[in-house]
């Protein structure tokens, strides 16, 4: 249950009863300071201004009509017309006890679920996945999990780069290797060096370059032999990516691949349509669209080329075709793109043009959820020591190795257990470090801080979960059994309960705005609230009454379940012991 919305609904009906027109919002938010209650409704001020009334008088009128029943113990008006709501302790205690036995914490699915297409990861298949693909992959996957949890029908679209001129060169190289008896899998084991070989052949060997060019044409005209080589290359490259997704605990699989090549047949049709609609016009042999909507300061329209003068199509053309497919075939109501901020203009052009051409109905929302770069400690884009791009496979392997060093000797774990913990901690650290930063800014990738057990880090969050579990182990109580009702007396108990109660609000917010750091921050506050609670409110000490012990255990259990749910929604595993 989303308590904030529940309160807002009650305030709205009180506003209505007080004669406030429905265009005025309740504006309910959590209070920053417990002195002012747990929630504040700030809508009276704006409404009073609009209605030319005294804001405190209007606030009073709203409160007179407000029924929050047993949810609130006190409602007061403060300052110029804030309505402060203090939650009732026994209501809160009852609510937490109720949700604490359910793994979903009774968080309801949406009453109006949507079909949402999420475009994320989308590496270029000519090369191996590198750090540049990390952010899209893990941010996109976290949002996918959140949306699915809330009941949306999510369709993942991995818009891989599997077409274009470079494939001519790569196929020519592959053919060369295979003609020498080498297996395709072996030749493409290291895509990075394969690409380099192909490129140097292309640059130094005229005959090879000609073959490569010829293969591009053959590929485009559907030559069976060339297509077969291309498919071989494509499928091996995809299987490399699949290994990365597995290691990263990302939910993408081969069924979600719908790359650039998928739209080939639609491209000429699409260009024709844009011509018919008089949106596209010829310019020096190319087909271009001029968008006055995106004009620059000088008033010059933004120019999008949709077909080159040699007949070739572009990145934008494919993206337009993809939008059409997503709207018409996938029936998307929302389309989310997780692509870095350097492609903002590209997406603006594509969205504007797609709307103009009526490929997208008004109600369908097109959303670019952009993000910044991953930087090294020197604040320049993250590179290897030698200055090259960092392969994702190497980065993840290093993460697990480093995690294994950090946890070495912490407890007596078997070899097998150690491996699992190192995996979860290493991968969790990399993911959490990224997800916990506001995605729109660049961030510094720093091994030491992300693997620290202190602060807002993956290991700290996983450890907080294990810590709660250890209380149950010490008490020799099965966390999965119902233990007790809850009573809330100490302020630390209340604080913890409130943080648990707010989780659905946060999850719904993330589903709306696709900023996962909000969830990280909330989980961090929750974990910290547990540590404070545990210090102030002993559970296992001998002078604690049996009822109090049981109540506090039940509250701790709700906390553990919240941490687990929240981290799982971010794609991070928790462990009972670490």
Closest CB to ligand ARG among residues 215, 337: 337
Please identify, using beta-carbon distances, which residue of 366 and 555 lies nearer to ligand ARG.
366
Should residue 140 be labelled a site residue for ligand ARG when binding is judged by CB under 6 A?
Answer: no
Three-class SS state of 108: coil
Stretch of residues binding ligand ARG (CB under 6 A), selected from 24-32, 82-90, 119-127, 305-313: 119-127
Compute the least distance from the CB of residue 532 to ligand ARG, in Å.
Answer: 43
Q: Dihedral angle at the C-alpha atoms of 409, 414, 416, 418, nearest 10 degrees?
A: -20
Select from 63-71, 121-129, 294-302, 534-542 the region that touches ligand ARG (CB under 6 A).
Answer: 121-129
3-class state of residue 83 by DSSP: strand
**Torsion sign (Cα): 563, 568, 571, 574:** positive
Give yes or no for residue 37 binding ligand ARG (CB under 6 A).
no
CA distance 157 to 419: 32
Tell me the closest approach of the beta carbon of residue 467 to ligand ARG, in angstroms: 40
Cβ 366 vs Cβ 434: under 8 Å: no
Residue 418 phi, psi (nearest 5): -55, -45
Using the minimum distance from each CB to ligand ARG, give the nearer residue, 262 or 443: 262
Query: Shortest approach of ligand ARG to residue 230 CB, angstroms?
Result: 17
Residue 318 CB, nearest approach to ligand ARG (Å): 8
| Residue 124 binding ligand ARG, by CB under 6 A | yes
* DSSP class of 289: E
Residues numbered 361-420 forming contacts with ligand ARG, rule: CB under 6 A: none
**Smallest separation, CB 337 to ligand ARG (Å):** 6
Residue from 96, 122, 248, 279 in contact with ligand ARG (CB under 6 A): 122
In angstroms, the CA 25 to CA 40 distance is 13
Minimal distance, residue 319 CB to ligand ARG, in Å: 5
Q: In whole angstroms, give the CA distance from residue 522 to residue 509.
A: 12
Token pair recorded at residue 399:
């993460």
| Torsion over CA: 125, 168, 388, 119 (sign) | negative
Residue 29: phi and psi, rounded to 5, are -140, 155
CB-based contacts of 159, cutoff 8 Å, min separation 6: 119, 122, 258, 259, 260, 322
> Which residue's CB is nearer to ligand ARG, number 84 or number 364?
364
Instruction: Measure the CA–CA gap between 167 and 212, rounded to whole angstroms.
Output: 8
Q: Using alpha carbons only, what angle is made at residue 567 by residues 564 and 569, rounded to the nearest 5 degrees?
A: 105
159 in contact with ligand ARG (CB under 6 A): yes
Stretch binding ligand ARG (CB under 6 A), from 116-124, 164-172, 395-403, 451-459: 116-124
| CA atoms of 68 and 10, how far apart (whole Å) | 7
Q: Could you tell me if 13 and 26 are in contact, meaning their C-beta atoms sit under 8 angstroms apart?
A: no
- The mark string for 1-20 relative to ligand ARG (x by CB under 6 A, - otherwise) is --------------------
Minimum CB separation of residue 266 from ligand ARG in Å reads 14
Which C-beta is closer to ligand ARG: that of 124 or that of 137? 124
Does position 319 interact with ligand ARG (CB under 6 A)? The reply is: yes
Distance, CA of 267 to CA of 19 (rounded, Å): 56
Neighbours of 197 (CB within 10 A): 16
The whole-angstrom separation of Cα 290 and Cα 296 is 12
Residue 317 CB, shortest distance to ligand ARG, in Å, is 11
DSSP state of 161: B
| Contact (CB, 8 A) for 441 and 372 | yes
C-beta separation of 409 from 491 below 8 A: no
Asked if 129 interacts with ligand ARG (CB under 6 A), we say: no
Q: Give the C-alpha separation, 514 to 537, whole Å.
A: 36
How many residues touch ligand ARG under the rule CB under 6 A: the total is 10
**Is residue 218 near ligand ARG by the rule CB under 6 A?**
no
Closest chain position to ligand ARG (CB): 122
161 binds ligand ARG (CB under 6 A): yes
Minimum CB–partner distance for residue 346 and ligand ARG (Å): 7
Task: Supply the DSSP symbol for 68.
Answer: -
Considering the complex, state which of residue 121 and residue 462 has its C-beta at the smaller distance from ligand ARG: 121
- Residue 119 touching ligand ARG (CB under 6 A): yes
* Sole binder of ligand ARG in the list 66, 126, 288, 339 (CB under 6 A): 339
The smaller minimum CB distance to ligand ARG, of residues 318 and 554, is found at 318
According to CB under 6 A, which one of 15, 99, 289, 322 is a site residue for ligand ARG?
A: 322
CB of 514 to ligand ARG, least distance (A): 15
The residue ranges that bind ligand ARG (CB under 6 A) are: 119, 122-124, 159, 161, 319, 322, 337, 339
């Amino acid at each position: 249950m989303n308590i904030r919305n529940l309160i807002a609904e009650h305030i709205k009906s009180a506003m209505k009863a007080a004669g406030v027109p429905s265009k005025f919002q309740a504006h309910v938010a959590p209070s920053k300071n417990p002195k002012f209650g747990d929630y504040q409704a700030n809508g009276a001020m704006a409404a009073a201004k609009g209605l030319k009334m005294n804001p405190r008088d209007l606030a009073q009128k709203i409160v007179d009509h407000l029924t929050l029943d047993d949810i609130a113990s006190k409602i007061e008006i403060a300052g110029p017309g804030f309505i402060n709501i203090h939650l009732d302790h026994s209501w809160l205690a009852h609510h937490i006890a109720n949700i604490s036995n359910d793994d979903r914490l009774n968080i309801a699915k949406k009453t109006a679920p949507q079909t949402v297409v999420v475009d994320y990861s989308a590496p270029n298949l000519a090369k191996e996945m590198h750090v540049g693909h990390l952010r899209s992959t893990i941010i996109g996957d976290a949002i996918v999990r959140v949306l699915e949890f809330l009941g949306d029908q999510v369709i993942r679209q991995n818009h891989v780069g599997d077409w274009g001129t470079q494939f001519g060169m790569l196929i020519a190289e592959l053919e060369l290797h295979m003609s020498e008896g080498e297996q395709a899998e072996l030749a493409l084991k290291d895509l990075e060096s394969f690409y380099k070989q192909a490129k140097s052949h292309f640059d130094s060997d005229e005959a090879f370059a000609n073959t490569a060019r010829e293969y591009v044409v053959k590929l485009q005209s559907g030559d069976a032999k060339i297509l077969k080589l291309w498919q071989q290359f494509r499928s091996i490259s995809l299987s490399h990516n699949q290994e990365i997704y597995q290691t990263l605990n990302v939910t993408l699989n081969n069924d979600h691949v719908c790359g650039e090549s998928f739209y080939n047949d639609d491209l000429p049709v699409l260009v024709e349509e844009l011509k018919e609609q008089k949106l596209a016009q010829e310019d020096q042999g190319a087909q271009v669209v001029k968008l006055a909507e995106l004009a620059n300061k000088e008033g010059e329209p933004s120019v999008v080329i949709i077909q080159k003068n040699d007949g070739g199509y572009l990145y934008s053309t494919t993206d337009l075709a993809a939008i059409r497919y997503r709207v018409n075939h996938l029936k998307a109501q929302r389309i989310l793109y997780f692509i870095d901020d350097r492609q903002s203009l590209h997406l603006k052009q594509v969205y504007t043009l797609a709307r103009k051409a009526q490929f997208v109905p008004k109600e369908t929302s097109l959303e670019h959820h952009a993000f910044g770069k991953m930087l090294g400690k020197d604040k320049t884009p993250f590179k290897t020591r030698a200055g090259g791009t960092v392969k994702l496979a190497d980065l993840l392997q290093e993460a697990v190795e480093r995690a294994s060093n950090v946890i070495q000797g912490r407890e007596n774990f078997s070899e097998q257990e150690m491996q699992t913990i190192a995996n979860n901690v290493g991968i969790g650290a990399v993911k959490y470090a990224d997800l916990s930063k506001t995605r729109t800014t660049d961030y510094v990738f720093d091994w030491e801080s992300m693997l620290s057990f202190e602060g807002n880090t993956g290991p700290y969050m996983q450890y907080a979960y294990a810590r709660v579990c250890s209380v149950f182990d010490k008490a020799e109580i099965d966390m999965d059994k119902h233990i007790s009702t809850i009573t809330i007396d100490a302020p630390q108990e209340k604080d913890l309960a409130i943080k648990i109660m707010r989780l659905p609000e946060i999850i719904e917010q993330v589903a709306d705005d696709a900023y996962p750091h909000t969830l990280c921050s909330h989980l961090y506050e929750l974990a910290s609230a547990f540590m404070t609670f545990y210090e102030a409110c002993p559970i296992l000490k001998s002078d604690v009454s049996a009822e109090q012990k049981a109540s506090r255990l039940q509250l701790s259990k709700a906390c553990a379940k919240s941490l687990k749910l929240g981290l799982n929604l971010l794609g991070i595993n928790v462990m009972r012991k670490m």
